[in-house]
Structure 1
Amino acid sequence: MTSSIGDQKAVSCPLMAKPHRQRLVNKDGRSLMQGSAPGYRETWFGALRDMWGTWLALRWRWVVLAFCGSFLLHWLLFAVLWYLLARVNGDLDVPNHDSPPPGHVLCVKHVTGFSAAFSFALETQLTIGYGTMYPNADCPTAIALLALQMLLGLMLEAFITGAFVAKFSRPQKRCGGILFSPQAVVCEVRGRRCLMFRVCNLLPRPLVDVYVSAVLYEERGDHELHQTAMEFSVDNLGSRPCPLFLSPLTFFHPLTPSSPLNNTPTNQSHFELVVFLTASQESTGSGYHKRTSYLPDEIQYGSCFTRVTSLHGKGRNKTESMRYFDTQPCSLTLPNTHTTDTLEKEHVVVQINGEGSDRVE
């Protein structure tokens, strides 16, 4: 019976259920949650309606395969059309294209088979110059088919070129040099208990207008996913963005009585803190977006980050920069606001003969 109850609880809480705990966001920022899966036809129709978004969402291996396949299909299609034109016009029955029969107008010189038609379609699309094969100006059908192939070919090249540029310039792909600390810490800062994490910039250029936001995702007793916004700041900037991102930045969130983490029950461990960072490049204004998440077991209580020191020219790679995320133990002398509030609510004063000296827990 105990096993069945445990299995039922794991099914009812699929988000953070142990031991197979599923994250919303991976540590490198990739989303791990899938929406409701529609039918097969609806999936394909949705992909066709949003072809640009589907293309950008593909992995590079599929993009290169689609790039090569689209051009091959385009050349194959027009090779078939040029071959059919030569057959309908009777060019395939002419033994010598250099001296055609009187009254016969060749549409394309020296297209005597399908391989020649494919070669002609390739030369037309790549504009590498005609040799012995070239379209005849006296054949209107050949000129019309030539114009159609060039127009469709230019559209295909423009789409693929734009998609390649868009994939290279995606904000997520430019953020490989922005690292989040693998662990968050809880320590005391200026007389307040704070939740803190650190961000390091390995990019060879500074970033400006760095803004961090966070959302606390909780799976409560009603088996629904609740979202609560949390504010993080650097030093005394408050909600304003950090003007310059050079050295590692430490963001903190005070654990005040109004903090969402203090409103979470003490026995509640099914939550995930997702952090979003946005910044822009000073020279070009390009946007940078990076995110990560922290689970309850990735938050170290009674620890703080070590002091940020120069690595003397090092630290421009990921291995050396991980030293910025080293932690050290620190004492928590201030009382936990949530624990204090909870204990006060659990104590009841019993008055005997008008004296309230006895306290019952």
Structure 2
Amino acid sequence: MPTTMTNTTADQKASCPLMVKPQRRRLVSKDGRSQTRGNTRGGSRETCFSALRDLWGTWLALRWRWVVLAFCGSFLLHWLLFAVLWYLLARVNGDLDVLDHDSPPPGHVLCVKHVNGFTAAFSFALETQLTIGYGTMYPNADCPTAIALLALQMLLGLMLEAFITGAFVAKFSRPQKRCDGILFSPQAVVCEQKGQRCLMFRVCNLQPQPLVDVSVSAVLYEERDDHELHQTALEFSIDNLGSRSCPLFLSPLTFFHPLNPSTPFINNPSSQTHFELVVFLTATQESTGSGYHKRTSYLPDEIQYGYCFSKVTSVHQNKTPNMRYFDTVPCPLTLANTHTTDTPDKEHVVVQLNGEGSDRVE
């Protein structure tokens, strides 16, 4: 009986990764990486087949250390493969038995001159692939097999180089890899704003260039009593822009979502089922038009109730040796749908905008 209960619990954990509260398993990490994995009950063989069916996507999803290792390994294996083929060609043709390749026996046609061992065959395969020029070793035009093998190596080598080059360019140009300077606040807050209770988080842009057309979307993943993962879209806005995108991203932006009694944020999360709020941000670089994408997530214990973000002011950089964008201050919660006028504003954060600082930015 205990074994059956253990298996049942394990199956529930596998089907619903957010089910166990103490482990706090996430769907998305704080830096935006997906923490979910596909169903592995089919074994490693099915996982390998899935990776091979989507080879391009698998390659782009690899970390840089594995990409560099695959880059070096693929070329080494390519050279080694054709070194073996060139060596076998020389052995089958009898070139290895010729002592002096400059003066071969009458009637013997050498396929590759001076390939008299495996080391020479590997060197010839390397020179062929890198097109660094032949020295004493070169293929003989009177040996059709050597010409065919040479053409095959060049074709496969060009395909390999094209794939590797394209993969490197694609990894460098991925939108999520260009936005390390976009920071989400590590904590979200619930406070009262404009007469209603709101969920808020802040985003800061540390990129050297401004971003335009900034939009944010969010999905609430919630576990309910049926142990199913329910998804709910939440709309966040900035000031009076509503659902429209922010035209310019210079200073820190604070996004808010009005709460209602049906949302799990309205009360303390200890009395609610486990949930995770995943936030997606998209923006465009003004100079190049390239897209930026970044995401993060907030668990129940990463939401501060009765706090609000410190106000942000813009003054000269010399007056602010330490800039704190995500500081929070207490903001007591009153009854729902009541406006709190005593919003603490004693703590401020200073931010330099375009090298000057005289305008106040809320």
Above 0.5 in TM-score? yes
2:55 partner amino acid: M
Give matches, 1:140-155, under 5 Å.
Answer: 140-155=144-159
Measured at CA, do residues 154 and 315 of structure 1 come closer, stay the same or move farther in structure 2, by a change above 3 Å? farther
Matched, 1:51 2:52: no
2:329 aligns with 328
Unpaired runs of at least 5, structure 1: 338-361
C-alpha deviations, 1:247-270, integer Å up to 9, x for none? 110000111456574599993141
1:3-22 matches, within 5 Å, as: 15-22=18-25
**In 1, Cα distance between the equivalents of 2:38 and 2:333?**
41
User: Is the counterpart of residue 302 in structure 1 residue 306 in structure 2?
Assistant: yes
Deviation at 1:289?
A: 1.1
Provide closer, same or farther for how the CA distance between residues 315 and 257 of structure 1 changes in structure 2, counting only shifts above 3 A. Answer: farther
- Percent identity, aligned pairs only? 83
Determine the structure 2 residue equivalent to 1:164: 168
Task: Give the Cα separation in 1 of the matches to 2:269 and 2:82.
Answer: 67
The amino acid across from 2:39 in the alignment is: S
Matched with 1:64 is 68
Q: d(CA) in 1 for partners of 2:181 and 2:113?
A: 57
| Farther-moved stretch of structure 1 (295-304 vs 266-275) | 266-275
Contact in 1 for aligned 2:195/2:337 (Cα 8 Å): no
Aligned to 1:32: 35
Q: Distance in 1 between matches of 2:277 and 2:264?
A: 11
Structure 1 match to 2:259: 255
- 5+ long unaligned stretches in structure 2: 339-362
Residue 134 of structure 1 is matched in structure 2 by 138
Paired amino acid for 1:66 = A
SS at match of 1:36: coil
Distance in 1 between residues matched to 2:304 and 2:239, nearest whole Å: 21
Deviates more, 1:252-261 or 1:172-181: 252-261
- In structure 2, what is the equivalent of residue 343 of structure 1? none
Residues 87, 118 of structure 2: 8 Å contact kept: yes
State the 1:14 CA deviation.
5.7
| AA of the residue aligned to 1:157 | E
Tell me if structure 1 keeps the 8 A contact 2:310–2:326.
Answer: yes
**Following the alignment from structure 1 to structure 2, what is the Cα–Cα distance between the partners of residues 34 and 315?**
48
- Structure-1-length-normalised TM-score: 0.84
Structure 2 residue 207 is matched with structure 1 residue 203: yes
Question: TM-score normalized by structure 2?
Answer: 0.84
- Measured against aligned partners, the alpha-carbon deviations of 1:37-71 in whole angstroms (never above 9, x if no partner) come to 13222111111111111111112222111111111
Query: How far, CA to CA, are the matches of 1:43 and 1:150 in structure 2?
Result: 32
Give 1 or 2 for the bigger CA radius of gyration: 1
After superposition, the CA RMSD in angstroms is 2.7
Paired residues, number? 328
1:321-352: CA deviation from partner (whole Å, max 9, x where unpaired): 5x110011123344369xxxxxxxxxxxxxxx
How many Å separate the matches in 1 of 2:66 and 2:219? 33
Distance 1:72 1:9, change over 3 A: closer
Conserved? CA contact 2:219–2:278, under 8 Å: yes
Q: CA 1:104 to 1:236, structure 2 compared with 1: closer, same or farther past 3 Å?
A: same
Deviation larger for 26-35 or 215-224:
26-35
| 2:249 matches 1:245 | yes
Deviation at 1:299, TM superposition (A): 1.3
